Chain A
Amino acid sequence: MDIHGVELDDTFAEAFDMTATRLVITAHDANWARHAATSMTGFATSVIGCGVEAGIEGPVAAERAPDGRPALAVLLFAFDRDTLAKHIERRVGQCVLTAPTTAVFAGLEGEPVNLGRNLRFFGDGYQISKVIGDTRYWRVPVMDGEFLCQERTGAVRAVGGGNFLVLAASLEGALAACERAVAAIGELPNVITPFPGGVVRSGSKIGSKYSQVPASTNHLYCPTLRGLTETRLGPEIGAVLEIVINGLTHADITRAMRAGIEAACSADANVRRISAGNFGGELGKHHFHLREIMA
């Protein structure tokens, strides 16, 4: 099977159950909302090293933002609710509370997870609770006025680790294809691509020759190991890049993979194959078969 002449491997991406929430960060203008959102979703590429995986989902129209200001939605994913709560508090406390003019609100309903519940103590007793409707907010005095935050957000079951590999004749071709794919995925709701620029070059396998290292380079797709180890790269492949997608539902990831693969395979003769990363299907319960997605 091929997409615009690009071969589609008969394989699947393997993804995992996760817990996720959406936060809506508002600010005086879009610039400051982006500063806060970029900061709080930084160093959040993989749960293995960062605790959570996070990214900017996209802008929220001012009329849909709780306080009517320019807003961005961010999604955070963790393996369990306690870890998610810990990182929400840490990241919002360090990156949103600190950013001028910002406020933060829950963007999902679900199992309650603390958002501003403990951050309020920064107010040193001068914080003000305000219940509006059935929702409690905290007004924390800060040097530019007040930091407004909702007491809790909602956590939902989600899926992390949807992916596909772009195999191209050159690194430039792989990069260009991935940039198109990430842009296409960025237009979709409910998904993020948590790695830098949405693209991963260090695809990994489980385990290593070193006992203390839980994951190591995916030698099957490393062009510089061709001829040295088992490989899945033909002589025409010069570089491989991966796009990892987390989404609120299986369907969201399916939609994002389709849009990303379609974009990667269009307008570039440099891309040779599309493949996907999995662990034999025994670790993650979510399997995304490329040929079914693109059928």
Chain B
Amino acid sequence: MSGMSLTLRAALSLPVDLSALEPRRIAQMDPRAVGALTLPQGNGTVRVDQLFDVQRRDSGATARLEIHGADGRLDGVGAGLEDGEIHVHGRAGDYLGRGMRGGIVEVHGDCGAFAGAAMRGGRLTVVGDAGDFLGGPLPGRRHGMRGGTVLIHGRAGDRAGEAMRRGLLVIRGDAGANCASRMIAGTVAVLGHVGPGSGHGMRRGTLLLRELPALPATFNGNGAHRLGFLTLLRAQLAAVDAELAAVLPAHARAERWVGDRSVDGRGEVLVWR
């Protein structure tokens, strides 16, 4: 197996959709053949080599795609990814890892809106900040993330984890308004602050925080509990990011709030200090 490196030649005037560039598909191709592939841009298409310098990179047994110089207009990076790795240096655009089912996407920078939207598996890491609708549903759809792991080192925008159904979403910084709103199941962990409306419409699932936000009036206090599953969750978080284990004390009691009682009401906000 081999890898491919794409380096953006100049800033883009229009966003371009990179969802066709799957690492496994292009790993065995000749760089000139990769350059001849076409990508949707605006209402037309553009050849890869019109935008990028294409070079082969030895990546051992892993199918790997590197993108250098990303300027925030590269949309759909890693969309539908099933295996292999994509590493983005710079700012990724919207729909990063949209509907991905496996593999690894890493962004060494920020990303736009809808990152991890409708994701089903794999691991998505953003070293910088993420935009709105992180791990949420695609426009017009009912369900957000249904599996996989998302780690955001920085902040996330509004509606992170909205209508999420399964999986793990970790935000080391702050999250915007309506975090985990309409959540169906799964786990959202935010180490910073969350914005107003967080947990609103939560049916099930876990919103794990380090300080209690102003919750909707339809959440009820449930007391402080030492919950066995938190030990397992802590181990999972530590596997995602070793520093998280140091932040979250082992066998700690968590303050628990249950809701949203205006809907199914079996969700929980856990404050783990």
Contacts and interface: CB of A to CB of B under 8 A. Distances in A.
B47 interface: no
Nearest to B232: A132
B266 A103 contact: no
Most buried by A among B166, B204, B227: B227
Contact of A126 (B185, B186, B231, B266): B266
SS class, residues of chain B in contact with chain A? mixed
B168 to A, nearest CB: 8
A115 to B, nearest CB: 15
Contact of A145 (B166, B204, B225, B232): B225
A132 B236 contact: yes
Nearest to B234: A68
A9 interface: no
A280 interface: no
B236 A139 contact: no
Interface in B222-273: 225-229, 231-233, 236, 250-251, 266, 268
Contact of B236 (A128, A129, A133, A146): A133
Contacts of A148: 228-229, 232
A58 to B, nearest CB: 22
Interface residues of B, number: 20
Contacts of A129: 185
A67 interface: yes
Most buried by A among B166, B206, B228, B229: B228
Nearest to B236: A132
Given A130-B229, A139-B227, A68 B250 contact: yes
Contacts, number: 46
Interface string B175-210: 000000000011100000000000000001010000
A67 B266 contact: no
A66 B206 CA distance: 20
Nearest to B168: A132
Nearest to B223: A145
A164 interface: no
B231 A128 contact: no
A267 interface: no
B233 A132 contact: yes
A77 interface: no
Interface string A119-131: 0000000101111
A215 B231 CA distance: 49
B266 A66 contact: no
Contacts of B226: 145
22 contacts: A66-B232, A67-B228, A68-B250, A128-B266, A130-B187, A130-B229, A130-B233, A131-B167, A132-B229, A132-B233, A132-B236, A133-B236, A137-B232, A139-B227, A139-B228, A139-B229, A145-B228, A146-B225, A146-B227, A146-B228, A148-B229, A148-B232
Given A128-B266, A128-B268, A146-B229, 6 more contacts: A26-B228, A66-B232, A131-B166, A139-B227, A145-B228, A146-B228
Q: What 3 pairs across the A-B complex have the smallest Cβ distances?
A: A148-B228, A67-B231, A132-B232
